[in-house]
Amino acid sequence: MRIIVSGGGTGGHIYPALSIADKIKSENEGANVLYVGTKMGLESKIVPGSGYDFETVTVSGFQRKISFENMKRLIMFFRGIWESASIIRRFRPDIVIGTGGYVSGPVVFCAAMMKIPTVVHEQNAFPGMTNKFLSRFADKVLISFEDARKFFKSDRNVEFTGNPLRKEIIDANKSEARKKLGIPLDKKMVLSVGGSGGSRKINDAMLSVIGQFCNRDIAFVHATGNAYFEGFCKEFSDAGLKDYQMVVPYIDNMPDVLAACDVVICSAGAITLSEVTCLGKPAIVIPKAHTAENHQEYNARSIEENGAGVMILEKDITADLIAQNIFNIIMDEEKLNEMSNKSVQMGMPEAIDVIYSEIMRLKQLDEGI
């Protein structure tokens, strides 16, 4: 079995591609997987260390207005198609899988034109430009939020699968996690994290909210982000904090910390929210402004509309608003349980198995099995 996977630009596109590649390798002895990315993209740093062969094509995203720069990028896109065709002819894949990002555009498009079975995986509630374009040619479009379905012109080839998650997240257990972290089972716990790099606005609000947690003896872990940790500590004194009340620069044991908490305050990255719902955690979701196509707000809105959490826009963040929403959930056992159940209903811990089944079904159809 020979597979090409392509996705790049951000970890939100790269890690799902690697998860799919890992699943295919684990289920098919001798499977040959090639990852196609760009020389300058984040994938060029991540993928080679994962053990997969890596090749590159030339491509860049288009600006959202008519410009001379777009003419240059159009020429680059056609060059990317030519390079993709060369790679495909040489590698002879059975199937080509794209997980988004500009690089997957020429790779999946070229494969579709060459009559090779193609799959697109969309992580967000609002699909990216590349995947919306590719959906017209791909044999299968796999979505992670049901809300994404309405953004595709036809849903004849659209299947809901969810986002593939790390095994450590799927297997995480609340009581075991609390034992590891030294957090008593009888304490309510809040996790707050503003993405891997942290969030200044969330940090500013949490300076006050943490004081309220301490007054009510609520366990918490607040991750500031490495760049903000020193400044946060200058304004916040950790004197008097109990062992189960922690301010840290970064969380490197996220499966345990997420499993241990009762409520999470987080940004609205697709993988983050998939992990949160997989473990059934109610969330105060704060979508980052100015993300591509404002996709984080669509992700957050999906959580809120399904009853699994509350959305607060970055421009509206205040300590009082965060505290009000947290205490409304965490101090109301009925509401906490209801939101946890709604969160679990959105979760897809079996996503990677569903994705793999769809890929294999397409391959069998192509082979006439």
Q: Provide the residue-wise pLDDT of the chain in tens; the chain has 369 residues.
A: 999 999 988 888 999 999 999 999 999 999 999 999 999 889 999 999 899 999 999 886 554 555 555 556 666 778 889 999 999 999 999 999 999 998 999 999 999 999 999 999 999 999 998 999 999 999 999 999 999 999 998 888 999 999 999 899 999 999 999 999 999 999 999 999 987 788 889 999 999 999 999 989 999 999 999 999 999 988 887 767 899 999 999 998 999 999 999 999 999 999 999 999 999 999 999 998 877 778 999 999 999 999 999 999 999 999 999 999 999 999 999 999 999 999 999 999 999 999 999 999 998 887 776
Q: At what angle do helices 295-305 and 270-278 cross, to 10 degrees?
A: 20
Q: Alpha-carbon distance 357 to 269, whole Å?
A: 25
Q: Alpha-carbon distance 286 to 226, whole Å?
A: 19
196 is in an annotated binding site: yes
Residue found by looking up tokens 């918490």 in the block: 220
Q: What does DSSP say about strands 263-266 and 189-193: parallel, antiparallel, or unpaired?
A: parallel
Q: Alpha-carbon distance 3 to 368, whole Å?
A: 18
The percent of the chain in helix, strand and coil, each rounded to the nearest 5, is 50, 15, 35
Q: What is the CATH number of domain 2-165+349-367?
A: 3.40.50.2000
84 is in an annotated binding site: no
225-242 b/e with 16+ CB inside 10 Å = b?
A: beebbeebeeebeeeeee
> What pLDDT is stored for residue 90 in this prediction?
97
Give the type of residue at 260: A
> What pLDDT is stored for residue 310 in this prediction?
97
Q: What is the CATH number of domain 168-346?
A: 3.40.50.2000
56 is in an annotated binding site: no
12 is in an annotated binding site: yes
Q: Are 86 and 58 in contact (CB under 8 A)?
A: no
Q: What does DSSP say about strands 95-98 and 53-56: parallel, antiparallel, or unpaired?
A: unpaired
Phi, psi (degrees; rounded to nearest 5) at 27: -95, -10
pLDDT in tens, 112-160: 999 999 999 999 999 998 999 999 999 999 999 999 999 998 888 999 9
> What pLDDT is stored for residue 240 in this prediction?
76
Q: Are 27 and 356 in contact (CB under 8 A)?
A: yes
Domain extent listing, the chain: 2-165+349-367, 168-346
Give the number of residues written for the chain.
369
> What pLDDT is stored for residue 76 in this prediction?
72
Residue found by looking up tokens 């760009």 in the block: 38
251 is in an annotated binding site: yes
> What pLDDT is stored for residue 64 in this prediction?
55
> What pLDDT is stored for residue 44 in this prediction?
92
Are the folds of 2-165+349-367 and 168-346 the same? yes
10 is in an annotated binding site: yes
170 is in an annotated binding site: no
Q: What does DSSP say about strands 95-98 and 283-285: parallel, antiparallel, or unpaired?
A: unpaired
11 is in an annotated binding site: yes
Residue found by looking up tokens 């079975």 in the block: 117
Residue found by looking up tokens 């056609």 in the block: 78
Q: Alpha-carbon distance 54 to 35, whole Å?
A: 5
